């Protein structure tokens, strides 16, 4: 994939690892570059983001699809709010395979698929609920997510099938924050499907300062 910006030579102002199956919320300033690296490969990461000063302004994958006129996003594409305000722009993408339509795994999803074998296991939605509780964001105010590295091919009849993430160890994607943001990410804990190669693993987050 083409690269619009090179951030790896600069010093990160935030640099942390999100453990397998866990989530993390963090704040960034407008213009910051957020680099997400799949450390071991085949790991889906769910991402949501809010305007840090107005939590009612949050990402909407569906509005993003509507504005962009496509469902497969990569370098140069923008994730917007319901009001089509740009919140994140993809500035670099090693993989080029991400999901915008399937949302986050949830307790209900775990109870109702794979013969209920996932019931009671951790989910991305629960990770978001836990990470955003201290910000006063209620579960019902958590938006649909952008699912980085998730591979959900759609065939010509509109059928969606689950496949393994295409990311390998060290695969990365970068976003530019278009506003001051509160971001939450979840390393998808799903271990009963191909998605994460039946082996949920960790991710690294680096935030580089604004170039504005
Ligand atoms: Zn998940």
| Annotated domain spans of the chain | 14-208
**Confidence band of 153 (pLDDT split at 50, 70, 90):** confident
Residue 61 gets which letter from DSSP?
H
Neighbours of ion ligand 1 (CB under 5 A): 105, 124, 188
Beta bridge mates, 161? none
Cα of 107 to ligand 1 centre, how many Å?
A: 10
Cα of 103 to ligand 1 centre, how many Å?
A: 8
- Closest residue by Cα to residue 3 from 169, 171, 173: 173
26 Cβ contact partners less than 8 Å away, ≥ 6 residues apart: 14, 16, 182, 183, 205, 207
Cα four-point dihedral sign 84, 56, 29, 77? negative
Q: What is the pLDDT of residue 107?
A: 87
Cα of 25 to ligand 1 centre, how many Å?
A: 16
Distance CA 191, CA 197 (A): 7
Cα of 129 to ligand 1 centre, how many Å?
A: 13
**Confidence band of 109 (pLDDT split at 50, 70, 90):** confident
What is the tens place of the pLDDT at every residue in 154-198?
A: 889 999 887 899 999 999 999 999 999 999 999 999 988 888 999
What is the tens place of the pLDDT at every residue in 59-92?
A: 999 999 999 999 999 999 999 999 999 999 999 9
Cα of 178 to ligand 1 centre, how many Å?
A: 25
Cα of 182 to ligand 1 centre, how many Å?
A: 19
Percentage of residues in the chain having pLDDT higher than 70? 95
Cα of 123 to ligand 1 centre, how many Å?
A: 5
Query: Is the predicted pLDDT of residue 9 greater than 70, yes or no?
Result: no
Q: What is the pLDDT of residue 106?
A: 87
Cα of 126 to ligand 1 centre, how many Å?
A: 9
């Amino acid at each position: 994939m083409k690269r619009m910006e090179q951030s790896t030579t600069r010093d990160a102002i935030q640099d942390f690892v999100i453990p397998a199956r866990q989530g993390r919320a963090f704040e960034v300033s407008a213009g910051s570059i957020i680099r997400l690296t799949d450390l071991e490969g085949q790991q889906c990461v769910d991402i949501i983001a809010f305007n840090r000063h107005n939590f009612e302004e949050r990402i909407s994958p569906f509005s993003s699809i509507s504005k962009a006129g496509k469902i497969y996003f990569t370098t140069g594409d923008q994730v917007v709010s319901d009001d089509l305000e740009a919140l994140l722009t993809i500035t670099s993408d090693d993989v080029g395979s991400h999901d915008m339509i399937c949302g986050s795994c949830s307790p209900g999803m775990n109870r109702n698929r794979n013969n209920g074998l996932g019931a009671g296991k951790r989910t991305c939605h629960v990770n978001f609920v836990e990470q955003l509780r201290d910000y006063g964001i209620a579960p019902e105010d958590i938006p649909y997510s952008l699912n980085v590295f998730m591979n959900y091919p759609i065939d010509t009849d509109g059928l969606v099938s689950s496949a393994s993430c295409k990311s390998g160890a060290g695969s990365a994607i970068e976003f530019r924050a278009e506003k001051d943001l509160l971001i939450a990410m979840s390393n998808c804990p799903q271990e009963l499907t191909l998605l994460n190669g039946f082996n949920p693993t960790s991710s690294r987050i680096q935030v580089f300062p604004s170039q504005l």
